[in-house]
Amino acid sequence: MAEVILRDLVKTYPGGTSRATDEVSLEIGDGEFMVLLGPSGCGKTTLLRMIAGLEMPDAGQVVIGDRDVTYAEPRNRNLSMVFQSYAVFPNKAVRDNIGFGLRMHGVHADEVARKVDWAADLLQLTPQLDRYPAKLSGGQRQRVAVARAIVMDADVLLMDEPLSNLDALLRLSFRAELKKLVEELGTTTVYVTHDQVEALSLGDRVAVMHEGQIIQCGPPTDVYDQPATEFVGGFLGSPPMNFLTGVVVDTDDGPRLDLGGQSLPVPAALSPHTGKPLKLGVRPEAIEVAHDGASVTGELQVLEPLGSSALLTTEVCGQTVKVSAPPAFRADPGGSLNLRLPDDACRWYDPETSLLLEVR
C-alpha cells in the first residue's frame, strides 16, 4: 500500500479551449478510499488516468509512496485498474481472466492458482471459475474485473465508474460488497463516479470536481452537510439543496432576508451584508411542514409519492422549493403550506462568489 500525492496537475487536450485539469492538488492517505465525484467533463477520469500513467500531465507531479512516477510507464507504477467496460477476455474462462495479469508478470503457476482461488472465494465467483464471460451476468463480469485487479497486490487500486453498467438493484448489492471488500483489503483506492450515492456511501473522503478543479474535499457527511459552494450543494442530494435568493434588510428584529413579500431571519454575523443580495441554502429533508412556528408560506405545486417519502414542489415568492415530507403526507395542489426552515439547517452563500459564508 502507499499514499498518493498529486501536485498542481495540469492537462490540456489538443484543440481544447480549457484545461481538463487545472492545477489539481490532492493527498490520498495510505489505505484511504478516495472518491472523485463530478459531472461528465469535470476532469475526474483524466485525473485518474494521470495517476495510472495512461495520460501524461502537461505540468505537475504524481507521487506514489516515495516514488515520483509522473512520467513512469503504467507497468512501473504497481497499480491495478478496474474499467467501466469490465474489459474481460471473452475467449478466456473466469479462472484465466482473473489470473491473466499474474501470468504476464511471470508468477509461478501454483501461486497464480492460489491467488485466483482466494479472489474467487472473496468475490463469490468459485462456482463460475470454469465459465466464460458470455455465460455470466453483468454483476458477475464486474466481479471478475475486480478479482483480476486485487490479485495483483498493487499499491493502489483505481476504479473508473465500475458500477455504471449495472442495473439499479445490482448496483445496490455490489456497492455494499465492494465497500466490504476494500475495507478488508485495506488498499489505497481511488474511485471515479458521477453517482453521488456511490460517492457518499463508499468514500472515506469525497473530492467534488467541477471544470477541472477540486471544489471541495472532505468526509462525505461534511461535504453533504456543509457544501462549500452552490455547485456542491446543487450537485449533491436527490433532490438537491434548495436556494432562495433575497436582499438583506435591517429590521427591529434584526437582519432579515427579504424574498419579496416574505422574509426570513438572517444570522447577526451576516448583518454587514445589509442592502446586498444573499442566498439561503437548505436541504429538502430539513424543511418541515408545520402547523405553527412557520418560517414562510408556500403554494403546493406538485406532490410526488416516492414510497419512503413524499416529494413536494412548492413555490415561495416565485421561487421553487422542494420539500421531503413523510410518505403519508397528503395535500391538494394549489393549497398553501406553512414551511419551517430550522436555523441549524440553513447555509448562507454569497451570490457573487457562490461561496459558503462562515456564520459563528
Q: What pLDDT score was predicted for residue 1?
A: 63
Instruction: Give yes or no: residues 82 and 222 share one domain.
Output: yes
**Which CATH number covers residue 290?**
2.40.50.140
CA-closest candidate to residue 237, choices 227, 246, 229, 247: 227
3-state SS class at 214: strand
Instruction: Give yes or no: residues 246 and 156 share one domain.
Output: no
Instruction: Give yes or no: residues 319 and 220 share one domain.
Output: no
Which domain, by its residues, includes 315?
242-349
Would you write out the chain's pLDDT as a tens digit for each of its 360 residues?
689 999 999 999 887 678 899 999 999 999 999 999 999 989 999 999 999 999 999 999 999 998 999 999 998 999 999 887 778 899 999 999 999 989 988 899 999 999 999 989 888 899 999 999 999 988 888 889 888 988 888 899 999 988 877 777 777 878 888 888 888 888 999 999 999 999 999 999 999 999 999 999 999 999 999 999 999 999 999 899 999 999 999 998 889 999 998 999 999 999 999 999 999 999 999 999 987 778 899 999 999 999 999 999 999 999 999 999 999 999 999 999 999 999 999 999 999 999 999 887
Number of domains in the chain: 2
Instruction: Give yes or no: residues 28 and 172 share one domain.
Output: yes
Instruction: Give yes or no: residues 72 and 203 share one domain.
Output: yes
Q: What is the pTM of this model?
A: 0.89
* Domain stops at, among 194, 228, 262: 228
**Which CATH number covers residue 68?**
3.40.50.300
Instruction: Give yes or no: residues 96 and 193 share one domain.
Output: yes
Instruction: Give yes or no: residues 131 and 276 share one domain.
Output: no
Q: What pLDDT score was predicted for residue 85?
A: 78
CA-closest candidate to residue 282, choices 317, 234, 241: 241
Residue that has been written with the C-alpha cell 453483468 in this structure: 138
